[in-house]
Chain A
Amino acid sequence: MCLAVPVRVLQIDSLEALVEVGGLARQASIMLVPDVQVGDYVLLHAGFAIQKLDEKEAEETIRLFEEIAEGMGD
């Protein structure tokens, strides 16, 4: 039940946002992350954005995984 999916914020109207979930637009409350901006990625859980995703941290993790993948020689 603690499933949350990364979605992109498309539009913001006060504390309501439109987010993109699998190609579809969906309403979400941003009461819990009022500072998010259009274009940000957030975690969506039960109709609420619960946390903003940190792109820089994500990229660092991805870079590490890429290094590990390169070490595997493919």
Chain B
Amino acid sequence: MRFIDEFRNSAAGRGLALRIQEKKVRPTNLMEVCGTHTVAIFKHGIRQILPEKINLLSGPGCPVCVTPNADIDKAIALAKNAQVILTTFGDMMKVPGSYSSLSQVKAVGADIRVVYSILDALKIAENNSRKSVVFLGVGFETTSPTTASAILEAERLGIDNFFFLSVHKLIPPAMRALLDSDEVHIDGFICPGHVSTIIGSQPYEFIPREYGIPCVIAGFEPLDILQAIDMLLEQISAEEPRVDIQYRRAVRKEGNPIALKYLSTVFDVTDARWRGIGIIPKSGLKLGQRYERVDADCAFKIVTRPPKEAAGCCCGDILRGVSTPHECGLFAKACTPEHPVGPCMVSTEGTCSVWYLYEEEGEALSQTGEPQANNKPVTLKE
């Protein structure tokens, strides 16, 4: 397929891997912030072809995973309201809240519908004018502009039974929070490519400037990721930290100005709670004053019991890059994708589920500290 196959050429992959292996580097921790990168890295076997000294850490970039139980409980409470049709993306359904999950309450009669796009939710609202249709909006800057667009569309079309529960979050403030916590040593960031199609490169500038840490905005094909790692190592060895764009075909410095305009029209930036991290200043989106009437938080009285966490689940540590799934006593035992205990095992992009799925192929070895042979033959997986 155009724009995909060209970025999977295995000879070029070997060439890039060789360049990386030939670089004299000290032990280096690179964090891939975005869950979609985590999946691509495992799927294409990228960990296996990196030298032992280069350690990839998974960050907090799985939106489902960072949604705290209190927010999931709220969505569940809303779904139980007989007047409400709750709509959301499939990934949210199995995420355990404090007391149940959306799929459990759906099984006992709540009207919850999985949609591929918020536009499908808008159609459901159009076709069910006597019900209130609430969209549970989860996602980072890649997704929030689609929410903003749909809210503007609903206004234009005069659809007044469409409401919105926002758990949208922003990536750069979470990166700052990780750096400020000092819990994990990060030498470079592989920045999320699709978030950056919207926000551009400027919002990461504080990272090299204030923390001296290199950033490369990367695409999602194997050659993109290898090239981004090579570019990070270049920056590290030259001691010239900056924000580079590897994913040039999709990311412009200024991002997508129309999407940014819609975001600022519809949303205000607010403090938000992240699972495992806590409240991060200015890291969430809530509806601005003009759109408060479609804010499910204001339109409905939502009553929930105090949230609680699943005993033994260390998703929070994993989201901060402090622990790996193997350090969780439940991993692959009590907690599997069929019977997930925490959200990191539910979402297809959750670190635990990715490790579980690709583990048998041995791709997770580099993070468990097992010795890895250097300069072994390099093959990229299709």
Contacts and interface: CB of A to CB of B under 8 A. Distances in A.
A34 B15 CA distance: 39
A28 to B, nearest CB: 9
A47 B87 CA distance: 15
Interface string B70-112: 0000000000000000000101000000000000000000000
Contacts of B198: 50-51
A69 B248 CA distance: 20
B84 to A, nearest CB: 22
Interface string B1-38: 11110110101101110110000000000000011100
A2 B9 contact: no
Interface string B269-288: 00000000000000000000
Contacts of B216: none
A7 to B, nearest CB: 9
B60 to A, nearest CB: 13
B61 to A, nearest CB: 7
A32 B262 contact: yes
Given A4-B197, A54-B248, A69-B9, A31 B149 contact: yes
Contact of B62 (A1, A33, A47, A57): A1
A6 B256 CA distance: 16
A43 B223 CA distance: 18
Contact of B3 (A22, A48, A58): A58
A33 B119 CA distance: 16
Most chain A C-beta atoms within 10 Å of own C-beta, residue among B89, B142, B223 = B142
B325 interface: no
Contacts of A13: none
Interface in A39-74: 41, 43, 45-48, 50-51, 53-55, 57-58, 60-62, 65-66, 68-72, 74
B113 to A, nearest CB: 15
A6 B6 CA distance: 12
Interface in B141-161: 142-143, 145-146, 149, 152-153
Contacts of A45: 142-143, 146, 194
Contacts of A74: 11
B5 to A, nearest CB: 10
23 contacts: A1-B143, A2-B36, A2-B143, A4-B142, A22-B1, A31-B153, A32-B258, A34-B258, A46-B116, A46-B118, A47-B116, A50-B145, A50-B146, A53-B3, A54-B248, A54-B250, A61-B249, A62-B6, A66-B9, A69-B11, A69-B15, A70-B11, A74-B11
Interface of A: 1-4, 6, 8, 22, 29, 31-34, 41, 43, 45-48, 50-51, 53-55, 57-58, 60-62, 65-66, 68-72, 74
Interface of B: 1-4, 6-7, 9, 11-12, 14-16, 18-19, 34-36, 61-64, 89, 91, 116-120, 138-140, 142-143, 145-146, 149, 152-153, 192-195, 197-198, 220, 223, 227, 248-252, 256, 258-259, 262, 347, 349
Given A2-B139, A62-B6, 10 more contacts: A1-B142, A2-B63, A22-B1, A46-B139, A47-B119, A47-B146, A51-B198, A65-B12, A72-B11, A72-B15
